[in-house]
A and B are shown apart, each in its own frame.
Chain A
């Protein structure tokens, strides 16, 4: 009886914890959505900020974030995929691969502000890019690199070895096998990784603080050496500065909602794809 009771109590507590986690998510999302939804309209998404950021929209921030996503993945995606192909398909099981894998893990655990520090020292100051889209993209790209490497490696791992052996037996070279057999088979999973890293890149603030983010740009950036606004930094600005916080609050809620929508859509898309793939595989 006593055993049963303690079990019941424990299980109820665990269930409550589960409910609590759901409640936390709902309260955060709900808070942003309820406050932000009324702000979002066509003008908010397509206009420039106006009147000390109390009216108008967040168009340049959306575009800036888009540029940063494209810029960073242009650099990180091919590099990450190639790096994963090398460690998984070419390099043996020796200490080199082990070290590289350990470094990838470590790179993933470095705090984003340290990337910002490094990006500022190298790209902004040493290479003299100044605060620019290219400096921000490279910094964010470094941040996305481990995500891409890891998901690609997992994707490659999921390709059955029989595929490779069959291709090699037919006389294809190793590179041909990789190009024609392994990569196509792993592609959906690799894309999942890409989507995940888009989510990661679009939400980061600390790395762009000193490498690209502009407080206000009345027009869109025209080149890769221009500064850009970005949604996460814009939200930070709206939340903390401004002469009239009361009037700019709605804009902050709206920005937070747009940012969350982008990031969460990416995450949901990725997990949806992953689940679909898992189902396919189990069939």
Chain B
């Protein structure tokens, strides 16, 4: 083992963080860039399903909250791109890879938001699942990623609570509103469980990621934690989770739940979900339509620095 490899391993063994200019194995760098980029892309694409409802939010209060939330998603994407750049990735290149379909984002954002209760259920279940995934990432071995996650987790708590509060408000409303909440819950529950990724037996990267202390828990562990958290929340809300096999297993001390339709998950990951094409096309259009702004700002900056130099 070389000195560099030894330093890397010792840092991991002591549970210390790796920092941007430390030597890391190529595999670690590649895995980390891929994971952070996918995560950043998910935040950026994740603005779309909820952004869909900003102009149609039912009150000024809900509109202001939703705007703040979608702005946070943009912020989270930017914290993460910033972390990926410390590993040598280029921002423009990451954006290109997203809009060329060469890098993925979370499959959950390829589902449509059909009614306003979807905004609430996304906050409750989708952000709830994201928090389950992200809290352990605050202790990830790569320092800049871990620090971005700490910042993000603090903000996600607002996201989840505003969603749950929205749903509670609707549940106190009319029968039609309660039906909307149940409909949204029915549609988002299973995709939320898929957010944790394939089952442990079918997740080839987990072992290496855990050895590198990038991941701290397996997909199935986190999924179980999420189910256990969600059942009492659904009860308090008065919504039914769409899984007849869901029941408490006293022996395990966990809820048992039904089989996930992994063929659907694979289809969506492969690009055949209900909104994949639309999401990427929208991101591409925003990028292309912003090109003149990026150029003009650079030209403006160049003109001003030339003037300042001439005056000096």
Query: Do A and B actually bind?
Result: no
Chain A positions near chain B (C-beta within 8 angstroms): none
